[in-house]
């Protein structure tokens, strides 16, 4: 039973990460790697070294292919920003890696050797060196540009290279945020959660609620299951940052609760 539950949790985690991971390919066959949907409006982050030509295409997990415009490229940080003409994409949830602990379980998602949406599992080897997050995770050609994430599916870095033959080297997510001109990752609702699968869909099990957070003001409690955000199924980031209403299950009964804006929650 324990092994089965563990397998189900990994499968659910893989589905969440796969939705926000893309394949990046050069149109003339040069370069192939992965990317992360950083925002739902079509912003994709990948490695600079993945882009070996100006013309690149991005393939989403659902099979749709879009031509991508290269908006920014930083060889030193090995980062590139792509833009595709699409909206409503399942953006990744971003975690600041500063609180990442050595030994914490991490996963990498990508397209190694052309196998789309492959998941590998390991642990945090060093939370921050001078520039990178390192993890004891096996990567292969095609993983470059894909997400390194915790077991809640929150991205802590963008996989960049392999060191000493067995250590994954990732550009930290806060470095990516600065590259994109964004601030530090925004706290979601003030909850700790874990993805779970129930009745053929993904839900978020609430494991902890921060005092004076939007979640606390909304009345969320440990044990609640978040089924929908603003009337939509849980997908990737699940729009938790801008959530105004949550469909939850508590004690086996569904109910909808309103989520106040951050300003009102802080004033409470």
Q: Which residues are catalytic?
A: 49, 78, 144
Give SS3 for 174.
helix
CA separation for the pair 212, 5 (Å, rounded): 33
Using alpha carbons, select from 205, 239, 215 the residue that is nearest to residue 13: 205
Give SS3 for 265.
helix
Where are the extended beta strands (E) located within the chain?
Answer: 21-26, 32-39, 43-46, 56-59, 65-74, 79-83, 93-94, 105-110, 118-126, 133-136, 147-150, 154-163, 167-172, 191-198, 201-209, 225-229, 232-233, 245-250, 253-258
Instruction: Confirm if 251 and 222 have CB atoms less than 8 A apart.
Output: no
Instruction: Confirm if 109 and 119 have CB atoms less than 8 A apart.
Output: yes
CA separation for the pair 216, 193 (Å, rounded): 14
> What phi, psi does 68 have (nearest 5°)?
-115, 140
């Amino acid at each position: 039973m324990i092994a089965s539950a563990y397998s189900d949790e990994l499968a659910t985690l893989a589905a969440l990460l796969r939705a926000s991971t893309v394949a990046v390919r050069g149109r003339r066959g040069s370069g192939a790697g992965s990317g992360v949907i950083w925002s739902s409006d079509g912003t994709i982050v990948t490695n600079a070294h993945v882009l070996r030509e100006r013309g690149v295409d991005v393939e989403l997990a659902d099979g749709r292919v879009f031509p991508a415009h290269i908006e920014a490229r930083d060889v030193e940080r090995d980062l590139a920003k792509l833009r595709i003409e699409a909206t409503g994409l399942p953006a990744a949830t971003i975690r600041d890696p500063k609180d990442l602990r050595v030994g914490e379980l991490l996963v990498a998602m990508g397209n190694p050797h052309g196998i789309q949406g492959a998941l590998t599992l390991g642990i945090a080897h060093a939370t921050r060196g001078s520039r990178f997050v390192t993890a004891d995770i096996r990567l292969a050609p095609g993983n470059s540009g894909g997400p390194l994430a915790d077991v809640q599916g929150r991205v802590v870095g963008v996989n960049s290279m392999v060191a000493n033959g067995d250590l994954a080297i990732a550009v930290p997510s806060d470095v990516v945020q600065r590259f994109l001109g964004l601030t530090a990752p925004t706290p979601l609702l003030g909850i700790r959660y874990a993805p779970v699968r129930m009745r053929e869909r993904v839900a978020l099990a609430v494991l902890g609620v921060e005092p004076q957070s939007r979640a606390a003001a909304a009345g969320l409690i440990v044990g609640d299951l978040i089924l929908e955000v603003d009337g939509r199924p849980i997908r990737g980031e699940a729009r938790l940052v801008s959530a105004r209403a949550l469909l939850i299950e508590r004690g086996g009964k569904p109910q909808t609760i309103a989520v106040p804006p951050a300003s009102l929650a802080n004033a409470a």
